[in-house]
Amino acid sequence: MEVQYNVDIVDDYTGEVYREGVSEASALVYINESEWIRKVVKETKEDVPGSSIDDPIIIRTFWVETTTAAEEQKKREATREFWGY
């Protein structure tokens, strides 16, 4: 079986990309070993058509939750207070 390196791990709230173009097995290991990743919120698939020089591929994205909106708001408020704006 051929290993496909077309899985991304992205923060669902901030859009930050943590891993890009890795295998599914590697992505799942990373998610399970990262204590700061709370859970996988959703998984999406994007079909990328091929061209005359490329084969079509499917890009899978694991959208993960690392923080809540309330926690992010507290961080913003603390930053605002620290910088005085």
Model confidence, pTM: 0.76
Nearest one of 56, 62, 70 to 32, comparing CA atoms: 62
Tokens of 25: 């097995």
Q: HSE of 32 in the Cβ direction (CA atoms, 13 Å)?
A: 6
Per residue in 6-56, pLDDT (tens digit) is: 999 999 988 999 999 999 999 999 999 999 899 999 999 999 898 888 888
Q: What are 9's strand-pairing partners?
A: 19, 62
Per-residue pLDDT tens digits for 2-12: 677 899 999 99
